[in-house]
A = this chain, B = another copy of it.
Amino acid sequence: MSSISFKFYYDLLSPPSRALITFFRVANIPAEPIPIALRKGKLAFGVLGEHLTEKYRKEVSRFPTLPCINDNGFRLSESVAIVRYLKNTRGFDDFWYPEDPKAQALVDEYLSWTHNNIRMTSGLYFITKWRTPILTGQKADEKEVALVLATMKWTLHAVKIATWTPRLWLISTTR
């Protein structure tokens, strides 16, 4: 990849931020890191952070959310959209995101599916078991924890059987 870089707004507390940081590092994609603090700011509907300010919405991310990039004035959030945009504008190794329509579709399938499954259920588990008790000072409701743990295990199991041997992880077309 060329040395052309972009601004990268992230917080290590944010799972998709960590995914992009890891990806940029292993795929050797240069980005200018700008940390944003999700633990600061107001709490609304279980969401809090510096990114909920009017300034952030106007200057960084329209939705507003994290992670986000600014590529010479072009602002884009959502980790999946960012990876696809960088593939289309910079190009990087096919290994990370394949150009073959069927292989790409199977990666897209997982990247769509994960939002309301792995991401949602593991986030709910973390919030129920750890974040809410830390924020409120009250013990977690163990019945609720057991329920969100069971749904998280269910989604992890779904990935396991979807990608079972002899399938080649996500993109085997021989399944």
Binding site for B on A (CB under 8 A): 44-45, 57, 62-65, 74-82, 84-85, 88-89, 101-102, 104-106, 108-109, 111-113, 115-117, 119-120, 150-151, 154, 158, 161-163, 173, 175
The SS class assigned to the A binding surface is helix
- Which B residues touch A104, using CB under 8 A? 84-85, 88
In the complex, the answer to whether A175 meets B81 with C-beta atoms within 8 Å is no
- Which B residues touch A106, using CB under 8 A? 76, 81
CB distance from A90 to the nearest CB of B (A): 10
Q: A88-B104, A104-B88 are in contact. Are A78 and B109 (CB under 8 A)?
A: yes
Tell me how many chains of this kind the complex includes. Answer: 2
Provide the bound-state CA to CA distance between A29 and B117, in Å.
29
In the complex, the answer to whether A113 meets B162 with C-beta atoms within 8 Å is no
In the complex, the answer to whether B108 meets A158 with C-beta atoms within 8 Å is no
**In the complex, what residue of chain B is closest to A83 when comparing beta carbons?**
B108
- Which B residues touch A117, using CB under 8 A? 63
- Which B residues touch A82, using CB under 8 A? 105
Provide the bound-state CA to CA distance between A85 and B62, in Å.
27
**In the complex, what residue of chain B is closest to A151 when comparing beta carbons?**
B45
In the complex, the answer to whether B101 meets A81 with C-beta atoms within 8 Å is no
Point out the residue from B111, B162, B173 that lies within 8 Å of A63, measured CB to CB.
B162
Q: A57-B161, A101-B89, A162-B62 are in contact. Are A113 and B74 (CB under 8 A)?
A: no
Point out the residue from B88, B116, B119 that lies within 8 Å of A105, measured CB to CB.
B88
CB distance from A61 to the nearest CB of B (A): 9
In the complex, the answer to whether A112 meets B74 with C-beta atoms within 8 Å is no
Provide the bound-state CA to CA distance between A65 and B151, in Å.
16
In the complex, the answer to whether A81 meets B63 with C-beta atoms within 8 Å is no
